[in-house]
Amino acid sequence: MGRKQEHELFVQNLTGCSSLTVFSVLACIALFVFLDELLRLSWKKNLVSKKWTNFLLDFFVLVLPVLSTVTILSGWLTSLLIFLAITSLFASAVRIALSSGMTRQKDDLQVGEQAQAGRQSLEFMVVSQFRGCVLLLACVTILAVDFPVFPRQMGKTERQGYSVMDLGVGAFVIANALAAPQTKEMERSSWKMVVKEVQDTLVLLILGFSRFVSVLLTDYPVPEAEYGKHWNFFCTLAFVKILGRLAAVLVPPGAVAALGVCLAIVYECCLRLGLYSFVLDAADKAVPASSSSIVQFLIDNRSGLSSCLGFLAMFLMWLYVGRLFRNQRQSTAAILRLFQDLALYSLVLYGATLMLPLPSRRVVNMSYMFWVSYQAMAFLAFTLLTRLLLVSIDQSSAVLLQSFDPRNVKSSLWNIYQAFQEGKFEVDLTSHRASLFTPTILSAMNYNSMAIFLLANVLTGLINLSIDTTKCGDLVSMLILTAYLTVITSAAYFLYRRNIRLPLRLASLRPFCLPKTKVK
């Protein structure tokens, strides 16, 4: 058996893990980010997002822990999650106590030249953080899956089931929808904007074609069952982007989400009427000579083409969620209402997932849409709450300390939560200082998202062509993965620090910025 066949067998026929395992991984990542932000908050004099010291902090507190979570620590996820939760609570309490008597100086609020930047909404920060985490996890797993140190149950499932890597393209679609201009400018969409979207989509199509040609020339092992013989991830994103823009132009803004729901229902009916069996079970039989090349193309790429309909439905529904984010007032009560809505939607979708068949990434059935959506909503809700907590600690530590009784933690936390809802604690959620809590590496990866993901794909291919990753021990695997992540994050940070924005990105987050105001 050749090396290519061995590699294909190594990453194929995987059955996945439990939904709770995937949730635990995401929860650990969210807590890593929170601890990173808490350290940033404590590091007041160096709270400038483009310092190399902040990059090193993020790399050791966020990047390496994320890598460890899906590799050497994957067998202790529950213990790790409990440890991180306790550490986060303890660190928050200590931070509140230590800063209760401090008053920030004017110089502390004006952090260098960046203080003149536009003020950003809290929702912008949360969505930016979500996108950065999605990209970071994707960059980690696309190479880690080729090493034995990565648990097989976290790899992409062959037919149906739950796994960390199955979240990948679904999470990218959600991130794209949250950041898409449609969510802000749906009411004034025009064909001119469609033309611009087509131009941006051409870049994705070129990347998709380039990937197909490079795989063909290098004989790189790629499972055809995942997308098809010619189709790939970049083609799927291009398809969703352009049709999503057309829907925003042709359909009234209030009906876009309804269109997504209708498309999801119709597509699910098609799957149950035979499309599901055709995509997953049909053997790759030779097409009769009388059949056209178009028919052959459709059969060869049935997984990628059919899944596009599911991803499009999910994209349209998440445009509505994006509008919820943008339409929020910048008050603590409004943010808490958004948190409650996200948490409630997540629970409802979780319950719906339990009543449906197992999710399948290859066909993107309704169960898959609900599963990815409730995981994303839970992550966004937690991030929203922790960011509000960070801003509150920074601006109202003394007030929080007076309301906290260590003898009755549960009651104290509930009283503080109610006080926020009633507007008794008001903090400046759009302060420039608050925007600097976001880990530098996540901001840097967002800055050139598609270029960084393309770099990760290229490095993954070069490493797999250079060495037999399936035979590497745990130590060698971790060293290679660490070096790989060092190159990716350093490149992202270098471009970010130099303000170099390459014409390759998923979607611009700039529409989230509030009007520029002078810092007093």
Residues 257, 263: Cα–Cα separation, whole Å: 10
SS3 162: strand
Per-residue pLDDT at 260: 93
Which pLDDT value is given to residue 364? 94
> What is the DSSP code (8-state) at residue 59?
I
CA angle 386, 388, 394 (to 5 degrees): 100
Q: What is the pLDDT of residue 283?
A: 58
Structure confidence at residue 117 (pLDDT): 42
Supply the pLDDT for residue 198: 73
Cα distances from 503 to residues 8, 235, 248, 289, 423, in angstroms, run 33, 17, 23, 43, 43
- Contact in structure between 303 and 279 (CB atoms under 8 Å): yes
Cα 417 from Cα 410, distance rounded (Å): 11
Quick count: other Cβ atoms within 10 Å of Cβ 36?
Answer: 24
d(C-alpha 474, C-alpha 67), whole Å:
13
Rounded Cα gap, residues 432 and 122, in angstroms: 11
In a domain, 447, yes or no: yes
Look at residue 320 and tell me if it is in a domain: yes
Cα→Cα distances 8→11, 78, 225, Å: 6, 31, 11
| pTM attached to this predicted model | 0.87
| Residue 151 token pair | 């648990």
In a domain, 109, yes or no: yes
Task: Tell which residue, 444, 384, 373, has the closest CA to residue 132.
Answer: 444
DSSP string, 302-329: HHHHHHHHHHHHHHHHHHHHHHHHHT--
In a domain, residue 218? The reply is yes
Residue ranges making up the domain that contains 481: 3-512
Q: Would you say 488 and 136 are in contact if contact means Cβ atoms under 8 Å apart?
A: no
> Is the Cβ–Cβ distance between 124 and 507 less than 8 Å?
no
466/458 Cα distance (integer angstroms): 12
Count of domains in the chain? 1
Examine residue 160 and state whether it is found in any structural domain, yes or no: yes
DSSP state of 188: G
How many residues can be counted in the chain? 520
| 98 vs 121: CA distance, rounded Å | 27
- pLDDT the model gives residue 294: 78
pLDDT tens digits, the chain, 520 residues: what are they? 566 667 667 777 788 899 999 999 999 999 999 999 888 877 654 455 557 788 898 999 999 999 999 999 999 999 999 999 999 988 887 777 666 545 444 434 444 434 334 456 666 788 889 999 999 999 999 999 999 999 999 989 988 899 999 998 999 999 988 877 655 454 444 556 666 667 777 878 888 888 888 877 777 777 777 787 888 888 998 899 888 878 877 887 778 889 999 999 999 999 999 899 888 876 555 555 555 677 778 888 888 899 999 999 999 999 888 887 776 666 777 788 888 899 999 999 999 999 999 999 999 999 999 999 999 999 999 998 888 888 777 665 555 555 555 556 566 666 666 666 665 566 666 655 655 667 889 989 988 888 999 999 999 999 988 998 988 999 999 999 999 999 999 999 999 988 888 876 554 444 343 333 333 3
Q: Is residue 186 part of a domain?
A: yes
Q: Looking at the domain assignment, is residue 323 inside a domain?
A: yes
Compute φ and ψ for 17, nearest 5 degrees: -130, -165
Question: Would you state the pLDDT for residue 105?
Answer: 43
Predicted local confidence at residue 112, as pLDDT: 40
How many angstroms from the chain centroid is the CA of residue 512? Answer: 17
Residue 520 lies in a domain: no
pLDDT at residue 376 in the model? 96
